[in-house]
């Protein structure tokens, strides 16, 4: 389907994965710092602004591109036509769905903090901050090794 464009689409997909992951590593760290700022303070307002910028400039556009390019690559491999030997891709997609859910949670929690309604402790946020690293580790292994 993609012919000679395949390596270019794959490269673009990987570039946007890197951007998305950078945002997913940064935003939860921002949330920790934001939560530690006094509610209603100028510092908290700065964190709201920073979170909005990372979300609107990097995080969400990168995620959209990852999905568009990734599904294009999947279609090229036979994902939608019943291609065989794609168990690894199905699991990878499931993990990317979970990672997308994490993205949504982080954006939602940023909005809670902006409204002055934190519901987690700093320790809990620091632990949750590790979720993308764990998921992307398995996603990369599945994409490179294609174990099944």
DSSP string, 80-132: TTT-SS-HHHHHHHHHHHHHHHHHHHHHHHHHHHHTT---S-HHHHHHHTTHH
**Does the pLDDT value for residue 1 go beyond 90?**
no
**Does the pLDDT value for residue 31 go beyond 90?**
yes
Q: Is residue 112 annotated as involved in ligand binding?
A: no
Q: Is residue 92 annotated as involved in ligand binding?
A: yes
Q: What is the pLDDT of residues 100-128, one digit of tens each?
A: 999 999 999 999 999 999 999 999 999 99
What is the percent of the chain where pLDDT is above 90? 97
Q: In whole numbers, what is the pLDDT of the chain averaged over residues?
A: 96
Question: What confidence tier does 83 reach under pLDDT thresholds 50, 70, 90?
Answer: confident
The 8-class DSSP code of residue 54 comes to I
- The boundaries of the domain holding residue 134 are 3-145
């Amino acid at each position: 389907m993609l012919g000679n464009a395949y390596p270019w689409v794959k490269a673009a997909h990987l570039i946007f994965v890197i951007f998305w992951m950078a945002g997913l590593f940064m935003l939860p760290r921002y949330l920790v710092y934001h939560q530690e700022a006094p509610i209603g303070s100028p510092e908290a307002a700065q964190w709201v602004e920073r979170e909005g910028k990372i979300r609107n400039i990097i995080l969400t556009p990168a995620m959209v591109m990852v999905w568009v390019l990734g599904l294009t690559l999947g279609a090229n491999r036979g994902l939608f036509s019943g291609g065989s030997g794609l168990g690894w891709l199905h699991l990878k997609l499931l993990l990317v769905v979970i990672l997308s859910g994490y993205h949504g949670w982080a954006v939602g929690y940023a909005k809670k903090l902006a409204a002055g309604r934190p519901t987690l402790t700093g320790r809990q946020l620091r632990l949750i901050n590790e979720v993308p690293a764990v998921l992307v580790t398995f996603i990369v292994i599945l994409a490179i090794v294609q174990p099944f």
